[in-house]
Chains A and B, each alone.
Chain A
Amino acid sequence: MAEVRVEGLRKEFGKATAVDGLSLTVRDREFLTLVGPSGCGKSTTLRMVCGLERATAGQIYFDDHAVGHLPANKRDVAMVFQSYALYPHRTVAQNIGFALKMMRQPRRTIEEKVGRAARALGIEDLLDRKPRELSGGQRQRVALGRAIVRDAGAYLLDEPLSNLDAQLRVHMRAEIKRLHAEVARTFIYVTHDQVEAMTMSDRIAVLSDGRLQQCGTPEEIYERPSNRFVASFMGSPPMNFLTGSIVDEDGVRRFRTRGIAVDLPAAGGESEVELGVRPEHVLVSPRPEPGFLPGRVFVAELLGADVLVTVDVAGELIKARVPAPFHAGVDSAVHVGIDPAKVHLFAAADGRALTSTRGA
């Protein structure tokens, strides 16, 4: 049981700064995901929390105990590695029980705990095998087993699903979430996959260039992104962005760019802005409707229940996610409606969010 808190964490590799003044609190028993593109510093942060990497500056606390000076083997953490890092010369049972053996727990206790972990992961019948005799998914489970068998304060998972095929990934995603509920421990999960972050987390911390962009529940991150980066990184298909300016016309605040105009309800100080709208908040109609913009279908992609329609509106490509079926062919004329209540505005200069549709 532990709350993990990092304060002003900084890591430099030579001249490059991987993590730049990160402060973050992971609550006890919380599932927190660090998400961001490659090189954003999320793995480095995790390795510093783990003790595998020494911070250049800043401090790490487990339940108010500063642990920054402790090496990994003295911290109360368990970790799942991206490559699994199973011990090739040991059987599955020995892999899972290795840490317990190092902690000099009695053999009976180890066997019991290993058995319990293996049952939880459905790998009881693999206990005598060596890692090379396992499939990717099975190795993944052993790596998870090696962590959950421990009675650690925090469980750190470094992109544990990125080496699995798509189907297995979706399956293991659910299993890990379920596992977290069962073991009720603090999980810190690192991924570059925003879908994993959205589906699994209690809270998400979005990182970019070594800095924390936003930390909040998946709903907050999705619906009230604090800046353009978060808005663009989270969500699939990604948000549409239009660069333009806000003008006051006949007492109506209006967003304008080339041939496009969108009426805005809320106030905002800036004049040069980027307007963002998620594909599911873009409407497509075959007939002209008030406030809709004329355009042409650029391409339509069937996603299953929905169709992702890309519409060319005055030279801007706008993606809309509409329910299937959608029958307009390529280049046919359509009309696009942007729901003014659901648009996000970001300052063109620095990308910070100006208004939020649901009263930030």
Chain B
Amino acid sequence: MTTIPLRYRVPWKKIAVYALAVVFALYLVLPFYWIVAMSFMPEVDANSVPPQWIPQHPTLENYTAFVDPTGAQAMVGSRAVRETPFALGNSLLVALLTAVLNLVLGVFAAYSFSRIRFRGSQVLLMVYLLTRMVPGIAIIIPYYLLMRELDLLDTYWALILSYTTFALPVTIWVLKDFFRAVPRELEDAAKVDRCGWFRMMWSVVLPVSAPGLVAAAVFAFMTAWNEFMFALFLTSTAASKTMPVIAANFATDINTQFTVMAASGVLAVLPPLVLVLIFQRLIVQGMAAGSVKG
């Protein structure tokens, strides 16, 4: 009887893959970590060489600067500092309203595409997608003129309307597939159970499609939250300026105070982070499980 000796092989391939993954993770995480760490440092520590990876003299002064600017902070980058709280509010409002408007319009459009067969529906879907291919810079002047004619410059609505046109095609594409996955018999059951169309949508179709709704809403929210160029053109005062515009202001003022800028960056990341954490369960969960035989 012969036995085949079990030879241990060094899993080079695996090691390489993991090493690359670690490098990539560091590449993504380190800059973010550096922003967070720096936001808790005094300006002097932030500029020290070698860099302090862990803040030696942790402080909250960079955060309190936004509500109660003192000394140096009041001098340098003062306008950006003063406008940050307003900008956060503006960003939040614009992003939330963009998300909501997107869902309302997207639900109607996507349901039509998923359930009604009409001439040109495929072409129309393609056209929607094509609008995403146009670079923003190419249409920003017409947009500016349009908003000026509508008297919407320097208002939330200029941004909300613009961002909705960016996000709506994606919303429709995402929701269309979610609605298609809703079993027809579920809708039939709702009708037999005495639901009109709106009631059926509200009580059955939308809850079952919740993961899609959340995904679409998060996407629209992030689109609005991160957008810089349109916000720069269409806004001019604290009445409607959003965080990305303010963040740029930090760098353009006479003297850049990096720690305060880092703190503003952390503040800008918090709302979307909280949003995703809240809805994470819904995004992951497959809601349609168990409705029909499976």
Contacts and interface: CB of A to CB of B under 8 A. Distances in A.
Interface of A: 47, 50-52, 71-73, 77-79, 81-89, 98-99, 102-103, 130-134, 136, 139, 146, 163
B189 A88 contact: no
A220 B294 CA distance: 38
Interface stretch (B102-110, B126-134, B267-275, B283-291): B283-291
Contact of B290 (A47, A82, A103, A133): A133
A87 B185 contact: no
Q: Which of A81, A86, A88, A133 has the most CB of B within 10 A?
A: A88
A225 B115 CA distance: 42
A88 B291 contact: yes
Contact of B185 (A72, A82, A139, A146): A82
B288 A83 contact: no
Nearest to B207: A89
B208 interface: yes
B192 interface: yes
Contact of A72 (B186, B191, B210): B191
A73 B191 contact: yes
B292 interface: yes
A72 B185 CA distance: 13
Given A131-B290, A133-B290, A85 B191 contact: no
Contacts of B186: 85, 87
B194 interface: yes
Contact of B183 (A51, A85, A139, A146): A85
A115 to B, nearest CB: 18
Contacts of B185: 81-83, 85
Contact of A73 (B183, B192, B288, B289): B192
> Which 7 pairs show the lowest CB-CB distances between chains A and B?
A132-B290, A88-B291, A83-B292, A99-B193, A85-B185, A131-B290, A85-B189
Given A81-B185, A102-B199, A86 B290 contact: yes
B9 interface: no
Q: Which of A72, A134, A136, A146 has the most CB of B within 10 A?
A: A72
B31 interface: no
Interface residues of B, number: 25
Contacts of B194: 73, 99, 102-103
A52 B293 contact: no
A209 B183 CA distance: 27
25 contacts: A47-B188, A50-B188, A51-B191, A72-B191, A73-B193, A73-B194, A77-B192, A78-B192, A79-B188, A83-B292, A83-B293, A84-B293, A85-B186, A85-B188, A85-B189, A86-B290, A86-B291, A86-B292, A87-B291, A98-B203, A103-B194, A132-B289, A134-B290, A139-B290, A139-B293
A84 B292 contact: yes
B35 interface: no
Nearest to A163: B293
Nearest to B289: A132
A134 B210 CA distance: 22
B185 to A, nearest CB: 4
A286 B288 CA distance: 61
Contacts of B191: 51-52, 71-73
A82 B185 CA distance: 9
Contact of B193 (A71, A82, A146): A146
A359 B5 CA distance: 85
A101 to B, nearest CB: 9
B161 interface: no
B142 interface: no
B287 A72 contact: no
B291 A131 contact: yes
Contact of A79 (B192, B208, B292): B192
Given A85-B188, A89-B207, A102 B195 contact: yes
